[in-house]
Each structure stands twice: as structure tokens, then as C-alpha cells.
Amino acid sequence: MKLHQLAGKPALKSMLDNIPRLVASYYTLKPSGPVSFGTSGHRGCSTAGTFNEMHIAATAQAICEYRASKGITGPLYLGFDTHALSEAAFRTALEVFAANQVNVVIHAKDEYTPTPVISFLILEYNQGKTKGFADGVVITPSHNPPRDGGFKYNPPQGGPADVEVTGWVQDRANQLMNSGDSHIKRMPYEKARQAGTTRAQDFITPFVDALAQVIDMEIIQKQGVRIGVDPMGGSGVHFWGPIAETYNLNIQIVNTDVDPTFGFMTLDADGEIRMDCSSPYAMANLIAMADKFDIAWGNDSDFDRHGIVCPNGLMNPNHYLSVAIWYLLQNRPAWPKDLAIGKTLVSSSMIDKVVAGLARELYEVPVGFKWFVDGMLNGTVAFGGEESAGASFLRKDGKVWTTDKDGFCMTLLAAEILAKTGKTPDEIYRDTLIPVYGEPYYKRVDGPITDEQKKVLKDLTPDAIKTTTLAGLPITAVMTTAPGNKAAIGGVKVVIADGSWFAIRPSGTEPKMKLYIESFGGEERWQQIHDEAMPLIFAGFEGR
């Protein structure tokens, strides 16, 4: 993909989304497509007819029916982020939930709610219960552009719903959409707010108070770590003040703006406004301030992702995951030694080497945090991480913290690492990990995808690849399922003799193809793999 001429620069006013039109389209346009749950929930845009009032009403009604079918009778925690369509979808969902007499708990004073907070609240409520479990809904399109909306369901295990659950909800929602709205129960919004089943609660205090159970706040405070935080206009914007006050941390919030156009953002690589805290272009504002802090970070709109900025710049997400795992396995003495470390199979193989070097078990799964949920819930997986800068881990005592990605614990961990070791995570990666395990060259390339290419990837089997070499080295593995749980990866991963690899899969959130490449032969081998990967997979298949 060609780098946009304004990448890393402020967005022009002419590039900002028309918010009144977005919201009006949500209420007035008929859907032009079905409800479709991707990697994590349904996403779309109101002006494109893919995220409209009927989509949300039908999905909310389907969730009510799913809860009833499974005997889920506890509260449903309902939160929304700062995207323009999120509050509109929140109102629609509450109208449906209240009409179905679902006990709904919302954040007091119409505050925004980060994804990990919903997971935390669900798990806290369900602790020790044998019936009457809670679940939740987070209304967010994550880091997607301002024009997009998103709606995701977290069942009682607290994390993203698995494919069986999302398939049921998706299919029922589309049945309801196709049969009109006569089977969808609703009541006026003001009546839903005043319903006896709707209750407002402070979500900030219990989450903030519990953070010390997962992060060593005392050592961060004691060392006086100077921290810079950019909430990037996201749902955690009002959490950092209470965190700093509660634990007496030296935190400077560099941007407190909330703006549905996200006009304060710098443009991503493709010229889009995208709150991607793993992108140096989207994070350009904070990177420019890096030398003012010992450590700094940003988060995406629903705070389930993290971007760690050291004085020398933004860390590669894979590098930070590797350091976080290295540090945690040596600084959580209460964690049992038999706990596995989870990673998605498109994350760096540096993680494999770190885990093996510390004599721990690796649990490698397809893309999607939902694959870590059961293991983190039952205490067999200590850490789950994705290359796209999303991760979470257990409390210090080895008990579950969240079963969804948590941008709070992952960023605060960077400050703990610095306070405890005297080195930034980037210094540890370069001075400690690279000398032992080598230096991989990792880069992801995104591009368009055709329907034919999607079909090829969906139907691909390992024995369909007849070529035996790649970049001049023997191919040692072709995978269409993940080693850890044998689940389909939605694409293919090819590994060669020196440990280098590539993987191709369709995006679960946007209409594009993602090509991941990691080379242990430097940038030159990376380029060789890049040039040969697409022909290797698609030559001879397309057009059939």
C-alpha cells in the first residue's frame, strides 16, 4: 500500500466526517446489508447502510432471545465509546433491552465505557455464582475511522463471544430484519431510562481500585516514573485522572479532547483518521512529545489496545509483547509454573523463543482474542496477546483479571517494567532479547481483497500448496489451522527452514487483505518472501 502524502500529519477540515449526516443516516436509511459478526462484533457505517437503527434493534433483540435460551438472568452491562454512532446505537439497544425486561446496568452520568471495564464488571459480578450470571454489550468499532459504528456481545465468561454464539445472534438478527420490526420489542428511550430494570452505576471506581491487584502501582509511584498519556479521544479519557489520584502517579494527560470527528488526530498511513495506537502515523502527536516523559502511551477508542512510546519512539507491538511476557514470567512469583502463554499465530516468533527460553508452554491460536477467553478464565493461560497491540494477563495472584484485551493493564505494565528494571521496554528488547534470540524483521502489508481471493483462502488446505521452497529455503510447515487449538485460521501460514514465515488472511473488521511477514534473514529476505507469497497462494487457483 502506497503511503499517503499526509500520513502522520493533521487531518484537513475537508477530510472530517459530517457527523449530523452520519447520525441522521443511522435513523433514516434502510439497511443495505445484513448483520455480520467479524473478529469481534458487527461493524459498519450508517451512510453506507451497514450500521443502521434496524441492525442494532435486531441484534439487541437477538441477544435478548439468546440470553433467555441460555438462562442468563443477571444484569447486562451496557457501555459505549466516543464514536459518533455509538451513543445512537446505545439508545436503540437500551430501548430494546428495557422492553424485553432485561436488567441493564449503565455507566452513571452517561460516561463512556472501555471494553476491558465491561469484561471486569461481568467477571466481578459472576465470581462465585452458580446461576443468574451477568453478561455485557460494548458499542464500539474499536480503532476504526470516525464514520464507523460497532456492536459486540460479551457473554458471561466476560470476553468476546465465540463463533457459535455470534453465529446464533447474527442469524437470528438477520431473521428479525427480514421479517420487519414486528418481532422486535421496543419502548421510547426516556421510558427505557426510567424503567425499573435500568440502573446507573459508577464504573470507574471499582475498576481503578482493583488495578493494584494486577499492576505493582507502589513501585511506579516510589520511582516517580514520569508518564505521558494520550487517550486519543477514547472511552478511557476520564479514567486516567482517578488512576493518577488514587495511586499518586506522575501522569500527564496530553490530550483530554473528545470530538466525534477525531479532528485532533494525525492521519494513518493510508490517509484515514484511525485511532490505531500501534501506528506511528496515528501516534505522531504523542511521539513528538516522547522526550518529555520516561514512558508514554496511547490507546484506541475502546481502550482494548495499547501503544507504548519510549523516549526513542513508538515500540513495535510485537517487541512489546515479547518484553511483557519476558518480564511477567520472572516477576509474578504467585503464577503457577505450568501456565501457558497465549499468542495469535501472526504474532512474532520472538515470543516463541522467549517462552521456550523460560521453559514455559506456548499456546498459539488464530487471530481473535476470543480464543484466549476460556484459558484465562480457568487459570490455565497466564497471558494472551495479539500482534495488533491487544493483550491482557492474570492478576498478581494468578486469578483472572479480564477476559478481553485491556489497554490499561498493558500500558501501566510498561511503567512497572521501567520502575523495576531501570530500563524501558525498548531497551530490554534491544539489550537483552536480541542478543540471545536474534533480531527478526517483521512487517504487515494491507491491500485490497477480491471475492475470489476470499474463497481461495477459505477453501485452502495445506496439501494444495505444491511448492517446496520459498525465498530459496525449504518450506517446513503450511498451516490452515492453529497449532494450539486446531481452529481454522481463516487463511494460511507458511514457515521456512530459518524460522521466517508469512501469513495471509482477510481482515475481520475491514474489507482488505492482511499479509504478515517475519524474516530472520533481514529485510532482504522479507522482500523475497513478500514477492513470492501472493503468487504461491493464489497462482493457479483464481479464475476457477
Cα torsion 289, 295, 301, 303 to 10°: value is -170
Residue type, 188: P
Closest CA to 260 of 85, 115, 139, 143: 85
Catalytic, out of 25, 40, 46, 142: 142
CA distance 153 to 72: 13
Cα torsion 220, 383, 345, 230 to 10°: value is -30
Residue type, 86: S
**All three cell numbers of 39:** 473478529
* HEC-encoded secondary structure of 402-436: CCCCCHHHHHHHHHHHHHHHCCCHHHHHHHHHHHH
For residue 526, give every residue at least 6 positions away whose Cβ sits within 8 Å of its Cβ, in sequence order, or none: 441, 443, 500, 517, 518, 519
CA distance 162 to 172: 16
**DSSP per residue over 43-69, as a string?**
EEETTTTSS-HHHHHHHHHHHHHHHHH
**534 CB neighbour count, 10 Å cutoff:** 16
CA distance 30 to 52: 7
**423 CB neighbour count, 10 Å cutoff:** 16
CA distance 246 to 249: 8
Question: Parallel, antiparallel, or unpaired for β 313-314 and 306-310?
Answer: antiparallel
Chain mean position to CA 251: 24
**Which position has the grid cell 489497554?**
407
**506 CB neighbour count, 10 Å cutoff:** 18
**All three cell numbers of 504:** 495471509
CA distance 74 to 64: 12
Q: Are 20 and 14 in contact (CB under 8 A)?
A: no
CA distance 253 to 304: 18
Q: Write the burial class of residue 128 (CB in 10 Å: 0-12 exposed, 13-18 middle, 19+ buried).
A: exposed
What distance, in Å, lies between the first and last C-alpha atoms of the chain? 27
Q: Is 322 a catalytic residue?
A: no
CA distance 488 to 272: 31
Residues serving a catalytic function are 142
